[in-house]
């Protein structure tokens, strides 16, 4: 059974600092997703990573995928307050069409 673990679950950081959120998953997967969710809102798609070594960047966020290690990272560069949100990774189970989410990382960036 596919399991997805994120860490840390909570992160409070100062503006201007860099940090990384980690997403580990337990079985082979076709693809990995990163989403952002603001309080009381739906999910916003950030990245879809499709292959080993894939790296995608948008603004201060960069996501990477290592399928051999079953690990994805979401790196935040020079954090700003507007990036405060909950970030989820989700993994598409190989051949079973289920997308399994991690518990999320609640990110709070202090001005």
Residues of this chain that interact with another protein (CB under 8 A) are 30-31, 33, 35, 41-45, 48, 50, 88, 90, 92, 96-104
In terms of Cβ atoms closer than 10 Å to its own Cβ (0-12, 13-18, 19+), residue 11 is middle
- Distance in Å, CB of 4 to another protein, minimum: 8
Give whichever of 64 and 102 is closer to another protein, judged by the CB atom.
102
Euclidean distance between CA atoms 10 and 35, whole angstroms: 16
From CA 20, how far away is CA 46, in angstroms rounded?
A: 15
CB of 68 to another protein, least distance (A): 22
Of 76 and 90, nearer to another protein (C-beta) is 90
Structure tokens at 27: 């079985």
- Chain centroid to Cα 100, Å, comes to 13
Q: Which is nearer to another protein, 15 or 96 (CB)?
A: 96
Q: CB of 16: closest distance to another protein in angstroms?
A: 28
């Amino acid at each position: 059974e596919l399991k997805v673990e994120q860490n840390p679950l909570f992160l409070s950081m100062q503006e201007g600092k860099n940090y990384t959120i980690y997403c580990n998953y337990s079985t082979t997967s076709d693809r990995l997703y990163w989403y952002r969710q603001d309080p009381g809102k739906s999910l916003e798609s950030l990245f879809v990573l499709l292959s080993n070594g894939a790296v995608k960047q948008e603004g201060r966020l960069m996501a990477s995928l290592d399928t051999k290690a079953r690990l994805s990272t979401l790196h935040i560069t020079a954090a700003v307050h507007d990036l405060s949100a909950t970030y989820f990774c989700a993994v598409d189970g190989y051949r079973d069409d289920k997308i399994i989410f991690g518990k999320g990382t609640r990110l709070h960036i202090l001005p």
